[in-house]
Structures are given as structure tokens and as C-alpha cells.
Structure 1
Amino acid sequence: MSDHIPLVVIALKTVTLVVGGLITYLAVKASQRTEIDGLSVLAVGFGIITFGSLLAGVVDQLLRVDSATALVVENTLTAIGFCLVAYSLYVTKRQSLPE
């Protein structure tokens, strides 16, 4: 495989990191403002997804591990993050129900 990274991949990873970081930041701020536990979990979920994208690039480019390993790292963290996002929606729904 070529060591050359297409510019479009770099651009898309940058967008992923910026937007993922923004979503994480906004979820943290909303959690602090509203004190809804589900928003905290949502922030952690999006943070893990974003971190997974960053870590995969680091593993692939800086540590010179094979691309398959980097892909496994990224997809594992993405799956964990999405599980947390789904859980956060469940927790938030349960908290909003009348007692």
C-alpha cells in the first residue's frame, strides 16, 4: 500500500475531528447547564468516537502499524461511542418520564 495519503482523506479526518470536538463540547455545556445525566453520557460517546478517529490516524501514520490494525482501533472506539450515544438517549428518555 502507498504511504501517500490522499488530500481528501486528510480533509475528511480534519472535518471529523473539528465537528466531533464541537459536538462533544456542546454536549458537555448542555449537560452542565441542564444537569441531565444522559447529556454527559452523550458527550462521552461523541468524545470516544472523535478520539477513535484521531487515534486511528496516529496509529496508522506515526506508529507505522498496518492499516488493518488502525481500522480495527477506529471501528472499536466508534462502536463503543455509538453504544454510549444510544444509551444516553435511553437514559434521557427515562429521566423525562413523570414519576
Structure 2
Amino acid sequence: MSAVVPPLVLVFKTITLAFGGFITYNAAKAARRSGSEPMALLAVGFGIVTFGSILAGVADQLLAVSGGSALLVENALTSVGFGIIGYSLWATRRGR
């Protein structure tokens, strides 16, 4: 567990969770309502990005994982999430 966590890091992780959860929830709700596969992928992508951010914070602070490893996991999940978000936008343009 890290000895000192800048309070702003906790603030920004909390904001990320709130906004990411809000976007994910609303995209999933819209996907269910419309039956749109690209919208469902958008929700999944934002969910993965949000989960990666929160997982990295939890791993670093509560699971005694090194900061570098936590950062690696966060960036990997962010990359995957953004890839899915990009694909969802591309699939929408293709008329899926």
C-alpha cells in the first residue's frame, strides 16, 4: 500500500468513476431501448475504460501491487476500451 496518496488522485479517480459509470449506464440503457449493437459496444468500451481506471487505483492502494504494474493494467484496459469505442463508432457508420 502506498504511504501517501495525493488527495487530488483520489478526487480524480472518484470523478472518473462517477462520469464513466454515468456514460456506461446511459449507453447501455440506450442500447437496450434501441436494440443497437454499436451502442452496446460503446457501453462496453466505456465500462472497460472506467473499470481499468478504478482497478488500477484499487490495485495500487489496497492490493499492494506496484505502481508500475497498476499503471500497466490501467493503460492496457484503456487501450482495449478505446479500441471497442472506436469500433462501435466505425460500425455505426457502416450501418450495423
Q: Which of the five TM-score ranges fits, normalised by the shorter chain? A: over 0.9
Cα deviation for residue 36 of structure 1 reads: 1.2
Q: Which residue of 2 aligns with 1:64?
A: 64
Q: Which ranges in structure 1 are unaligned for 5 or more consecutive residues?
A: none
Structure number with larger C-alpha Rg = 1
Give the distance between the partners of 1:34 and 1:95, measured in 2 at CA: 14
Per-residue Cα deviation, 1:30-59 (whole angstroms, up to 9, x for no partner): 111111110000000000000001110111
Give the distance between the partners of 1:81 and 1:62, measured in 2 at CA: 24
Cα deviation for residue 65 of structure 1 reads: 1.1
Where 2:95 maps in the other structure, the secondary structure is helix
Q: Which residue of 1 aligns with 2:78?
A: 78
Q: Which ranges in structure 2 are unaligned for 5 or more consecutive residues?
A: none
1:8-19 to 2 correspondences below 5 Å: 8-19=8-19
Give the distance between the partners of 2:57 and 2:11, measured in 1 at CA: 12
Give the distance between the partners of 1:54 and 1:65, measured in 2 at CA: 14
Give the length in aligned residue pairs.
95
1:18-57 to 2 correspondences below 5 Å: 18-57=18-57
TM-score with structure 1 setting the length:
0.92
Give the distance between the partners of 1:10 and 1:75, measured in 2 at CA: 18
Cα deviation for residue 92 of structure 1 reads: 1.1
TM-score with structure 2 setting the length:
0.95
Query: RMSD of aligned C-alpha atoms?
Result: 1.1
Runs of 4+ that moved beyond 6 A: none
Does 1:92 find its partner at 2:95? no
Where 2:94 maps in the other structure, the secondary structure is helix
Give the distance between the partners of 1:94 and 1:32, measured in 2 at CA: 20
